[in-house]
Copies of this chain bind each other. A is one copy, B any other.
Amino acid sequence: MNTDLVLKNIAKHIQLTPTEQAHFVYLMKPRSLKRKEMLLQEGEVSRHSAFVTKGCLRSYTLDKNGYEHVLAFAPPDWWIADMYSFISQKPGTLYIEAMEPTEVLMLSKADQQQLYADIPKFERFFRIIVENAFVSSQQRLLDNLSLTAQERFRIFCQKYPSLVTTLPRKQIASYIGVTPEFFSKMMKTV
Protein backbone atom coordinates (compact mmCIF):
# COMPACT_ATOMS: atom_id res chain seq x y z
CA MET A 1 0.00 0.00 0.00
CA ASN A 2 1.52 3.19 -1.23
CA THR A 3 1.12 5.83 1.43
CA ASP A 4 4.44 7.52 0.66
CA LEU A 5 2.88 9.60 -2.07
CA VAL A 6 0.07 10.95 0.08
CA LEU A 7 2.41 11.73 2.97
CA LYS A 8 4.66 13.69 0.62
CA ASN A 9 1.60 15.45 -0.76
CA ILE A 10 0.70 16.53 2.75
CA ALA A 11 4.25 17.45 3.69
CA LYS A 12 4.18 20.14 1.00
CA HIS A 13 1.84 22.17 3.18
CA ILE A 14 1.93 21.00 6.81
CA GLN A 15 4.33 19.07 9.04
CA LEU A 16 3.11 15.98 10.84
CA THR A 17 4.75 14.04 13.67
CA PRO A 18 5.31 10.30 13.05
CA THR A 19 2.32 9.53 15.32
CA GLU A 20 0.09 11.88 13.37
CA GLN A 21 1.28 10.35 10.13
CA ALA A 22 0.46 6.89 11.42
CA HIS A 23 -2.98 8.00 12.52
CA PHE A 24 -3.69 9.58 9.15
CA VAL A 25 -2.47 6.54 7.22
CA TYR A 26 -4.69 4.37 9.38
CA LEU A 27 -7.73 6.34 8.19
CA MET A 28 -6.90 6.09 4.48
CA LYS A 29 -8.67 3.07 3.04
CA PRO A 30 -7.14 1.65 -0.16
CA ARG A 31 -9.29 0.66 -3.11
CA SER A 32 -8.48 -0.70 -6.56
CA LEU A 33 -10.55 0.11 -9.60
CA LYS A 34 -10.61 -1.62 -12.96
CA ARG A 35 -10.69 0.38 -16.17
CA LYS A 36 -14.17 1.94 -16.54
CA GLU A 37 -15.12 1.10 -13.00
CA MET A 38 -17.13 3.85 -11.29
CA LEU A 39 -16.07 5.35 -7.98
CA LEU A 40 -19.22 7.48 -7.87
CA GLN A 41 -22.36 7.95 -9.92
CA GLU A 42 -24.92 10.70 -10.35
CA GLY A 43 -27.49 10.67 -7.56
CA GLU A 44 -25.17 9.09 -5.01
CA VAL A 45 -23.80 10.82 -1.96
CA SER A 46 -20.01 11.22 -2.10
CA ARG A 47 -19.02 9.79 1.27
CA HIS A 48 -15.27 9.84 0.60
CA SER A 49 -12.69 11.92 -1.10
CA ALA A 50 -10.06 9.98 -2.99
CA PHE A 51 -6.32 10.41 -3.40
CA VAL A 52 -4.96 8.72 -6.54
CA THR A 53 -1.72 6.74 -6.15
CA LYS A 54 -1.73 4.94 -9.49
CA GLY A 55 -3.68 5.14 -12.76
CA CYS A 56 -6.12 7.97 -13.51
CA LEU A 57 -9.68 9.02 -12.67
CA ARG A 58 -11.98 11.46 -14.38
CA SER A 59 -15.07 13.26 -13.14
CA TYR A 60 -17.82 14.28 -15.55
CA THR A 61 -21.50 15.15 -15.88
CA LEU A 62 -24.09 13.98 -18.36
CA ASP A 63 -26.15 16.75 -19.93
CA LYS A 64 -29.78 16.39 -20.95
CA ASN A 65 -28.76 15.23 -24.44
CA GLY A 66 -26.63 12.46 -22.96
CA TYR A 67 -23.29 14.12 -23.73
CA GLU A 68 -20.46 13.88 -21.22
CA HIS A 69 -18.58 16.95 -19.99
CA VAL A 70 -15.30 16.28 -18.24
CA LEU A 71 -14.83 18.38 -15.13
CA ALA A 72 -11.48 17.02 -13.98
CA PHE A 73 -8.77 14.44 -14.49
CA ALA A 74 -7.00 12.99 -11.48
CA PRO A 75 -3.63 11.37 -12.21
CA PRO A 76 -1.43 10.16 -9.32
CA ASP A 77 -0.85 12.72 -6.54
CA TRP A 78 -4.29 14.33 -7.04
CA TRP A 79 -7.33 14.49 -4.78
CA ILE A 80 -10.77 14.08 -6.31
CA ALA A 81 -14.41 14.07 -5.12
CA ASP A 82 -17.79 15.44 -6.02
CA MET A 83 -17.10 18.44 -3.82
CA TYR A 84 -20.69 19.60 -3.74
CA SER A 85 -21.93 16.21 -2.58
CA PHE A 86 -18.97 15.61 -0.28
CA ILE A 87 -19.40 18.83 1.67
CA SER A 88 -23.21 18.84 1.75
CA GLN A 89 -23.64 15.04 2.00
CA LYS A 90 -26.49 15.33 -0.50
CA PRO A 91 -26.83 13.41 -3.77
CA GLY A 92 -24.41 14.77 -6.37
CA THR A 93 -24.39 15.19 -10.13
CA LEU A 94 -20.95 13.83 -10.99
CA TYR A 95 -19.68 10.50 -12.22
CA ILE A 96 -16.16 9.54 -11.20
CA GLU A 97 -14.68 6.79 -13.34
CA ALA A 98 -11.32 5.04 -13.69
CA MET A 99 -9.74 5.63 -17.10
CA GLU A 100 -7.37 2.70 -16.56
CA PRO A 101 -6.59 0.32 -13.67
CA THR A 102 -6.34 2.73 -10.75
CA GLU A 103 -5.44 2.69 -7.05
CA VAL A 104 -6.82 5.21 -4.62
CA LEU A 105 -6.71 5.95 -0.91
CA MET A 106 -10.08 7.01 0.42
CA LEU A 107 -10.81 9.30 3.34
CA SER A 108 -14.38 9.25 4.61
CA LYS A 109 -16.22 12.45 5.44
CA ALA A 110 -16.60 11.32 9.06
CA ASP A 111 -12.89 10.55 9.39
CA GLN A 112 -12.00 13.88 7.83
CA GLN A 113 -14.21 15.71 10.35
CA GLN A 114 -12.61 13.76 13.17
CA LEU A 115 -9.19 14.58 11.78
CA TYR A 116 -10.02 18.30 11.86
CA ALA A 117 -10.89 17.94 15.53
CA ASP A 118 -7.90 15.76 16.47
CA ILE A 119 -5.20 17.37 14.36
CA PRO A 120 -6.18 20.95 13.51
CA LYS A 121 -3.28 21.19 11.08
CA PHE A 122 -5.43 19.23 8.64
CA GLU A 123 -7.89 22.07 8.57
CA ARG A 124 -5.05 24.13 7.14
CA PHE A 125 -3.99 21.40 4.76
CA PHE A 126 -7.39 21.04 3.16
CA ARG A 127 -7.91 24.78 3.13
CA ILE A 128 -4.76 25.15 1.04
CA ILE A 129 -5.72 22.28 -1.27
CA VAL A 130 -9.14 23.79 -1.90
CA GLU A 131 -7.73 27.30 -2.35
CA ASN A 132 -5.50 26.01 -5.14
CA ALA A 133 -8.34 24.04 -6.71
CA PHE A 134 -10.54 27.13 -6.59
CA VAL A 135 -7.94 29.33 -8.27
CA SER A 136 -7.48 26.82 -11.03
CA SER A 137 -11.21 26.38 -11.53
CA GLN A 138 -11.64 30.15 -11.82
CA GLN A 139 -8.79 30.39 -14.28
CA ARG A 140 -10.31 27.65 -16.39
CA LEU A 141 -13.64 29.47 -16.33
CA LEU A 142 -11.99 32.65 -17.60
CA ASP A 143 -10.15 30.64 -20.25
CA ASN A 144 -13.47 29.23 -21.42
CA LEU A 145 -14.97 32.70 -21.56
CA SER A 146 -12.11 34.40 -23.36
CA LEU A 147 -10.01 31.93 -25.38
CA THR A 148 -10.53 29.82 -28.51
CA ALA A 149 -10.54 26.01 -28.38
CA GLN A 150 -7.07 26.10 -29.92
CA GLU A 151 -5.70 28.25 -27.11
CA ARG A 152 -7.42 26.19 -24.43
CA PHE A 153 -5.80 23.11 -25.89
CA ARG A 154 -2.39 24.74 -25.75
CA ILE A 155 -2.95 25.54 -22.07
CA PHE A 156 -4.07 21.98 -21.42
CA CYS A 157 -0.83 20.71 -22.96
CA GLN A 158 1.22 22.96 -20.69
CA LYS A 159 -0.73 22.06 -17.59
CA TYR A 160 -1.01 18.28 -18.10
CA PRO A 161 1.89 17.31 -20.38
CA SER A 162 1.72 13.70 -19.26
CA LEU A 163 -1.99 13.36 -19.99
CA VAL A 164 -1.79 14.77 -23.53
CA THR A 165 -0.09 11.65 -24.80
CA THR A 166 -1.88 9.05 -22.70
CA LEU A 167 -5.53 10.16 -22.68
CA PRO A 168 -7.96 9.42 -25.53
CA ARG A 169 -8.39 12.58 -27.59
CA LYS A 170 -12.12 12.63 -27.10
CA GLN A 171 -11.56 13.03 -23.36
CA ILE A 172 -9.29 16.00 -23.89
CA ALA A 173 -11.82 17.45 -26.34
CA SER A 174 -14.53 17.13 -23.70
CA TYR A 175 -12.33 18.79 -21.07
CA ILE A 176 -11.54 21.81 -23.24
CA GLY A 177 -15.19 22.02 -24.26
CA VAL A 178 -15.44 20.87 -27.89
CA THR A 179 -16.75 17.81 -29.72
CA PRO A 180 -14.32 15.07 -30.78
CA GLU A 181 -15.17 15.86 -34.42
CA PHE A 182 -14.22 19.50 -34.03
CA PHE A 183 -11.12 18.55 -32.06
CA SER A 184 -10.03 16.37 -34.95
CA LYS A 185 -10.64 19.17 -37.44
CA MET A 186 -8.70 21.56 -35.22
CA MET A 187 -5.67 19.27 -34.97
CA LYS A 188 -5.25 19.26 -38.74
CA THR A 189 -4.93 23.02 -38.94
CA VAL A 190 -1.98 23.29 -36.51
Closest to A116 in B: B124
Q: Indicate the member of A116, A127, A131, A145 with the most B CB atoms within 10 Å.
A: A145
For the complex, count residues of A whose C-beta is within 8 A of B: 31
Copies in the complex: 2
Q: Shortest distance in angstroms between A93's beta carbon and chain B's nearest beta carbon? A: 8
A-B contact pairs, 23 of them (CB 8 A): A63-B146, A63-B147, A67-B146, A69-B142, A69-B146, A71-B138, A71-B142, A83-B134, A83-B135, A83-B138, A84-B135, A84-B138, A84-B139, A120-B120, A123-B123, A126-B127, A130-B131, A133-B134, A137-B137, A140-B141, A141-B141, A141-B144, A144-B145
